[in-house]
Each structure stands twice: as structure tokens, then as C-alpha cells.
Amino acid sequence: MAIRAFPAGFLWGTATSAHQVEGGDDGTDWWDWEQIPGHVKDDSTAMPSCEWFRAGRFLEDFDRARSLSLNAHRLSLEWARIEPREGCWDSAALSYYRRVLAALRDRGLTPLVGLHHFTNPGWIARAGGWESRSTVGYFARYARKVVQALGDLCDFWLTINEPNVYAYSAYIDGTWPPARKDMGAGFQVLANLIRAHALAYRVIHEVQPMARVGAAHHFRYFVAANRSSPLDRLAASVRDYLFNQLFFRALIDGLLRAPMSMGRRLPYAKGTQDFIGINYYFAERVAFDRRNPALLFSRSIVRRWPDWAPSFAGDVSPAGLSRLLGGMRRYGLPICITENGIFDCGGDGQTAYLVSHLAALQRAIVDGAPVAGYFYWTLVDNFEWAEGYAPRFGLFANDLDTQRRRERPSARAYRTIASGNGLPDDLLTRYGRARLASG
């Protein structure tokens, strides 16, 4: 049986975030947000989610990850647990995370640890959140404390997850806390997130010189809805520039080229990533629309998805991942796919998505993209922010009432791929061109 091989030592993993799996995370701005009806589509909260914190179910879920022949796992820490009040550090929370990281290492799973994954301590939110420059210093102090406490168990760090998604959803679109709808505030937040990443990068290396530090960038592949239309092509390129490039390019050259920042220079951000973390899910078709100035005279044209998941709408495009990785070769940095996945949409859809994107990834590696790892989103069904529990992204289904897990077909396919460090041609033949059930 022919196998499309991946590099020796390739990291095969899954990804989770603290608020989405731990349950009962009541010290965050998101917890407060969830208590108000209408903020989450099914009016659910992040209690109980997967019961990692209260019941310690991370142990059984890590056993499941190991049963898939995985050798890595990406997770995040909850700042609000570790520093529930300004300057007050919770030793019990740090002990909990030491147990989590030790459990991963005991199972041969390399931890990739994130410091910020959308949630903020309530005291940070009340003090102005990421619009305030003081949050930058608080975040750097938190990074120092964490690495001092946990650095013997991890040397592989992500500072901030999807800063572009956070700034847009919380400060421009207004669908996440603090529900601002102010483009100027959004760009100010993005600038402060860049500052926070840069300071945390330096703090981590000061405490742990051999650490590998990056950020998880969310990239979408924007294409013109009508490729022969100059206006549609312009609209797509503007979306790409604002969504994909602003934060990422600032870490390359130290310049934030946001429209309202007048080319703000942030030279200490230049070169502050040891690897490039890429979260990739969909492509997005963009059309020029003069009636939509709030989105810079553009609109998205999306495929029809279930009614409960419009924010995940997009065109499934493995080729978009290949093209993205091809463009990343110029930077000469290792790359990790820190998130990639799809909700269970019936039939072979989830497995087809996994297989087709890994085929695109393998082609990009053959063409010279220095990809060192792949982390599937996600290990087990969990709380999906404003969408609640309706979208089920897990390789393992989770019954919230009983907390019983069930392996999905996508998990079996992932086991075959990870155990052989390659993509068998028969798996690609079977699933590579399968249609998603909702398509």
C-alpha cells in the first residue's frame, strides 16, 4: 500500500483551549457574557463542557489522544484561574496545570501551551481590557509567572491565539465581549496585542532561553467571487490585507500598517516568532458591494451551512492551505498547523475534510514548506463560543449529560495516518474527493 510520508519526527496532535473544555471558568469576561440570554445561540454556558477542571477528565481524554497514536497536544492556560485578582497568584491553579502538563508528558504527548485564547480575567476587562496599554504589561508579567512555574514541563509556547479574530469579534463586529463596534478601537486592540506578544516573547526567552515561541495566526484564503471582476479582486485583496496580514506582518517587519495607525512602528515586535502557527479552516469568496461600507464595500458569498453555524461558513478549500503554505516558505521559519478541522456534519464529511487537508499539507511539504506539525481542532466536542454546543468539532463525541465519549470515524482515520506517519493512498482514494453532507 503506497503511503505519502511526512517528515520524521512530525508532530501529530489535537488542539483544545481552557475555557472550552475545563468547565466552570467563572472568573472570565466570557463567563459573565454567557450569563446574559441571547449572547450564546443555545443560551448555554461553558459549564460543564468537558469537565477537565472539576472532575479531572483530561486524564481520560489524553488517554484517548494517545490511543490515536498522537505524540503532541495543544492546550491553553486560563489567565483568570492563575491570577484571579490583580497581582494575586493562585498556587492551586498552577498546580492543576502542572498536573495537566505532567499527564501529557507521561503519555508521550509534547505540550504546546497557549497563554491567551480569547478569554480575559474579569479584573482585566473591568480595567479597560485590551484597549488599555496597561494590559500589555499585565500580560507580560503573567507570561513570566507561568514560565517560571511550568517551564520545566514545557518549552513550546503560543502567546496569543487568533488576535485578528479576537479584535474583530470583540471590538468591530461586537458579537463577543466587550461588544464594541468601533473600528478604531479594533485597530488599537490589535496594536496592543502585538505589543503584548512581543514583550511576552522576550520574557519567555529571558526565563527559558531555549524555548520555542510563536503565535497562532488565523488565515483565510480570500478569493474574488467573480475572478474576472477587478472590483471583486480588489475587495478580496483588501480582506486579505486587513484580516490575514496586519498582525502577522508586524511580527516580520515591526510595522503595523493599519488604516488608522498611519504606519505605526513597533520595532520591538520584529522577528518575535521562532515558528509560525497557522489556524486554517476555510476559504472565503468576496464580492464588491457599494452598499456595505462597514465592511469596506465588500460582502462574503458563502455556501449553505446548517442554520446554527453561520459564523463557520466558508468554502472548504484544501488548495487554499497549500497556497498559503507555499507563500510562507519565504520567511524561513518552521511552521505548525495549530488548528484545522470541521464540525461533524454527517456522513463522511469530517473524515473527508481531514484527509483532503492532510493531502494538501503533504504536497506543500514536498514542495518545500517547512511544516513540523499538525494539530486537529479538536479532541472532544466542547463549548464553541457564541455558537454554544451545537457545532461538534471533536474526534470524539461528548454527551454533555453523561460525559460519555464516543469515537467518530474521523478519529479512526487520524489514527491510521498518525501511526504510519503518512497518508495511505487508499484512504485518500476513499475520502479525498468525498462531498460534505451539507454541501
Are the C-beta atoms of residues 195 and 136 closer than 8 Å to each other?
yes
Cell of residue 253, nine digits: 517587519
The pLDDT score that the predictor gives to residue 384 is 96
pLDDT tens, position by position, 310-348: 445 578 899 999 999 999 999 999 999 999 999 998 888
pLDDT tens for 108-119 read 999 999 999 999
Alpha helices, H only, 35-130: 58-67, 79-82, 91-106, 122-126
Q: Calculate what percentage of the chain has a pLDDT beyond 70.
A: 94
SS3 136: helix
Indicate the CATH number for domain 3-431. Answer: 3.20.20.80
State pTM to two decimals.
0.96
Domain boundaries of the chain, sorted by first residue? 3-431
User: What confidence score (pLDDT) does residue 316 get?
Assistant: 87
User: What does each C-alpha distance from 44 to 16, 311, 373, 388 come to in angstroms?
Assistant: 19, 17, 33, 6
Most confident of 69-78, 233-242, 286-295, 421-430: 69-78
Contact between 251 and 328 under an 8 Å Cβ cutoff? The reply is: no
Q: Which residues on adjacent β-strands are paired with residue 285?
A: 223, 301
Predicted confidence band at 3 (pLDDT cuts at 50, 70, 90)?
confident
pLDDT at 260: 63
105-109 mean pLDDT: 98
Asked if pLDDT for residue 38 goes beyond 90, the answer is: yes
Q: 121-130, 264-273, 427-436: which range is least confident on average?
A: 427-436
- Give pLDDT, residue 137: 98
Grid cell 475587495 in the structure block, residue? 235
Cell digits of residue 322: 497549500
Average pLDDT in the 165-191 region? Answer: 95
**Alpha-carbon gap, residue 178 to 36, rounded angstroms:** 13
The rounded distance, in Å, linking the Cα atoms of 51 and 405 is 12
pLDDT at 437: 36
On whether the CB atoms of residues 202 and 274 are closer than 8 A, the answer is no
pLDDT at residue 230 tops 90: yes
Cα 254 from Cα 250, distance rounded (Å): 4
Q: How confident is the model at residue 432 (pLDDT cuts 50, 70, 90)?
A: low
Q: Is residue 387 predicted with pLDDT exceeding 90?
A: yes
Which phi and psi angles does 54 have, rounded to 5°?
Answer: -70, -45
Inform me whether the pLDDT recorded for 439 exceeds 70.
no
Residue 169 carries which side chain, given as an amino acid letter? S
Strand 110-116 versus strand 156-161 pairing type: parallel
357 vs 296, more confident: 357
pLDDT for residue 303 = 64
- Measured distance CA(316)–CA(432) in Å, rounded: 12
Give mean pLDDT, residues 56-75: 98
Which residue is associated with the grid cell 517560571? Answer: 148
Residue 284: helix, strand or coil by DSSP? strand
Q: What percent of the chain has pLDDT over 90?
A: 86
Q: Looking at this protein, which amino acid is placed at residue 57?
A: R
